[in-house]
Amino acid sequence: MTEVLVAMLWSVFEVLIVFTGAQVVRVVSLGRWRSERWSSNEARTWSAAGALSFRHEGQRVVTTNGLVFVGLLFYALLAVLAVALAGLVSA
C-alpha cells in the first residue's frame, strides 16, 4: 500500500515539475521554443537518446528530460531566492 502511495505522489510531483518546466521555457523563450507534446513520441523520432532539446521544422523543441531539468532548476532558484529574502528580512 505504501509503495502505491509513493508512486502516486511521485507521479504528481513529476507532472508538476514538467508543467513548470514547460511554462518556464515558453516564457523565457518568448514563445519561440516549445515543449514536447505529451501524447507523441517526438523525442524518440527526431532526437538522440537522452537529448534535452532538438530542432524540428525550424523550431527548438524541449524534450521531457529537458523540461524536468528546467523545472528542477526553477524550483532550486526559487528556494535560493526564498532563503536569501528570509535572511534580508531577519537582519
pTM over 0.75: yes
pLDDT tens string, the chain, 91 residues long: the values are: 899 999 999 999 999 999 999 999 999 999 899 998 877 777 777 777 778 888 888 899 999 889 999 999 999 999 999 999 998 888 6
* Residues 6 or more apart in contact with residue 74 via CB below 8 angstroms: 20, 21, 24
pLDDT of the residue at 80: 97
pLDDT of the residue at 91: 66
Domain of residue 81: give its range.
2-90
pLDDT of the residue at 26: 95
DSSP characters for 34-60?
EEPPTTS-HHHHHS-TT-SEEEETTEE
pLDDT of the residue at 90: 80
Rg (CA), the chain: 16
Q: Are 42 and 73 in contact (CB under 8 A)?
A: no
Give the count of domains, the chain.
Answer: 1
